[in-house]
């Protein structure tokens, strides 16, 4: 099997039916809900339906979700998403999660972000990627800044989390090779 989204430590792959429990765990982790718009738990049935349709491409569903896997063990470490794909303006949002706190800080996030960035700019002809990061998510801010995303603004009191409002930072990476 040829893997095109492969780095030194990991590779990115399409989601498979056997990822059901992993996705169910992520989607139902209330600590992660503030990173998305999730308000209620997802059933295994709903996730199974999602996985049946995951083969649809980014041009149709405006999203691409990939599993982040270790090369040596094939262990799934997390997921990376391109979302809100806009084909007219050649841009998409990017989000990433490494699920195990023990696996964070080992360079996996940076490598996965580099792989998806290269793929986006090379294969999808993207002009820009952006990330929305909540106040207090210092690890993500550090990651995106390390990967040359630039802070372009702050949305004040943008998200209501557990009864209080948080600011959201907007980061962009412009593909200067595309005109």
Helical (H) or strand (E) element with 13: strand 10-14
* Residue with tokens 């050649």, as numbered in its chain: 90
Residue 122 lies in a domain: yes
Residues in contact with 9: Cβ distance below 8 Å, sequence separation at least 6, in sequence order? 70, 71, 106, 107, 108, 111
Asked if residue 2 is part of any domain, the answer here is no
Q: Helix (H, G, I), strand (E, B), or coil: what is residue 23?
A: helix
**For position 52, what pLDDT does the model report?**
67
Res 55: pLDDT: 59
> Which phi and psi angles does 64 have, rounded to 5°?
-140, 115
- CA gap 107, 172 in Å, rounded: 20
Residue at 179 is within a domain: no
Find the CATH number of the domain harbouring 79: 3.40.630.30
The pLDDT value recorded for residue 168 is: 93
Helix %, strand %, coil % of the chain (to 5) = 30, 35, 35
C-beta separation of 82 from 48 below 8 A: no
Give me the domain span that covers residue 42.
Answer: 10-174
Cα 128 to Cα 126: distance, rounded to the nearest angstrom? 6
Residues 148, 134: Cα–Cα separation, whole Å: 18
Low-confidence ranges of the chain (pLDDT < 50): 1-3
Listed residue (18, 42, 49, 39) closest to 28, CA to CA: 42
pLDDT for the residue numbered 19: 83
Quote the pLDDT of residue 35. 60
Q: Is residue 72 situated within a structural domain?
A: yes
- In tens, the pLDDT along 93-123 reads 999 999 888 888 899 999 999 999 999 999 9
Q: Is residue 54 part of a domain?
A: yes
Query: What's the pTM value of the predicted model, to 2 decimals?
Result: 0.84
4 in a domain, yes or no? Answer: no
Q: How many domains does the chain have?
A: 1
Question: Taking Cα atoms as reference points, which of 78, 150, 74 lies closest to residue 108?
Answer: 78
pLDDT tens per residue, range 44-53: 777 677 666 6
In a domain, 1, yes or no: no
Cβ proximity of 82 and 64 under 8 Å: yes
Residue 141 lies in a domain: yes
3-state SS assignment for residue 106: coil
């Amino acid at each position: 099997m040829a893997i095109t989204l492969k780095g030194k430590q990991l590779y990115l792959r399409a989601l498979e039916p056997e990822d059901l429990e992993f996705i169910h765990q992520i989607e139902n982790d209330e600590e992660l809900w503030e990173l998305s718009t999730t308000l209620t738990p997802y059933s295994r049935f709903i996730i199974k339906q999602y996985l049946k349709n995951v083969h649809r491409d980014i041009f149709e569903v405006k999203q691409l979700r990939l599993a982040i896997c270790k090369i040596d063990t094939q262990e799934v470490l997390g997921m990376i998403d391109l979302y809100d794909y806009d084909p007219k303006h050649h841009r998409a949002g990017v989000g990433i999660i490494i699920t195990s706190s023990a696996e964070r800080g080992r360079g996996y996030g940076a490598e996965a972000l580099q792989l998806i960035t290269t793929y986006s700019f090379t294969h999808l002809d993207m002009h820009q990627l952006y990330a929305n990061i909540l106040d207090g998510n210092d690890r993500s801010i550090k990651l995106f800044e390390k990967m040359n995303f630039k802070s372009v603004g702050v949305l004040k009191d943008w998200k209501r989390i557990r009864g209080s409002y948080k600011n959201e930072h907007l980061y962009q990476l412009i593909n200067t090779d595309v005109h």
